Structures are given as structure tokens and as C-alpha cells.
Amino acid sequence: MPEMEAPDRITTQSRGDYLEIMSKVVFQSGMSYKIAESKRLGTREAFHDFNADRVARITPSEIDQLTEDIRVIWNRSKLESVVANAQKLLELDTEFSGFQKYLRSHEDSVPLVKDLQKQFKFLGEMGCYYYLHVVGEEVPDHEEWQASLKKR
């Protein structure tokens, strides 16, 4: 089996960048990567280019509409979690004077992952690892990460 390559990192320029990658993790959770990836552009459109302020204001009525929108994955819990995650991201952004400052307020990746899982919906350990790697935060290499998970 060919070795998987690490995903590309991005340079985060806005809260929307953080929300978009987090939402990608949410939608990939428990699904085929190919299915989630095929809906990526439509999901971006449906969620207002991941403008965190706008996503945080999505109403239950708008969620109802999204559950019938062919551009997105129709999992209501995941759709609602993107909105809740946008709201939490904005709270932490305000509390820490920047979301990146929140991420870097933890002593290392293990407590950060635990806090991410507590604060946000649909983020498992591997999803957090992927998320942190893509948004450019320091994480151990994958083998070291896997070994640390086995120790817990």
C-alpha cells in the first residue's frame, strides 16, 4: 500500500480559514474522503465562503434549507455543528484576542487537542491532528502522535 502524504499546510489569514478547515474535518468524520471532497466547493458556497461572522448567524430555518441542498452533505448534526463551531471560534477569538493565540495558549498539542474536543463539535483526535497540521500549528510527526495516543 502506498504511503499517504501529509496534507498541505495553509497560511491562515482569517477566522474563516480556521473555520473552513475545521468544517472540512467535521464533514469528513465517518465519511469517505472522496465524498466529502466532492462537496467541498458547494459547501464553501453554502456556508458563505466560511465567513465566521455570517456562519455563526445561520438560523434553524437556513439549516432546514441546507438539509435539502445538493451542494452539501445532508447530515443535520454536522450542519448544525459548523454553526456552533463558528460561534465558539468567535468567542475564543475575542477572549484570546485572536484564534491563533487561543491555539498557542496550551503547553503542547495533547492538552490543546483535549480542549479542542471539549470546545468544538465533531472533532476526534485524528481530526484535531489533521486540523492543527493544516492550519500550521506545531504537532509531532504522525508516528509520534500515534504512539502518544496508544499511551493514553
pLDDT averaged per 10 residues, the chain (length 152): 66 96 95 92 98 98 98 97 98 98 93 95 93 94 80 66
Tell me, yes or no, if the pTM score tops 0.85.
yes
What long-range pairs does 124-128 form, CB within 8 A, spacing at least 24? 124/29, 125/149, 127/25, 127/26, 127/28, 127/29, 128/25
Answer yes or no: are the C-beta atoms of 24 and 129 closer than 8 Å.
no
At 110 the pLDDT is 86
The domain 15-151 is placed in CATH, from the list 1.10.340.30, 3.40.50.800, 3.30.70.870, 2.40.30.10, at: 1.10.340.30
At 152 the pLDDT is 64
At 28 the pLDDT is 93
Domain edges within the chain? 15-151
Between CA 108 and CA 66 the distance in angstroms is 37
At 5 the pLDDT is 64
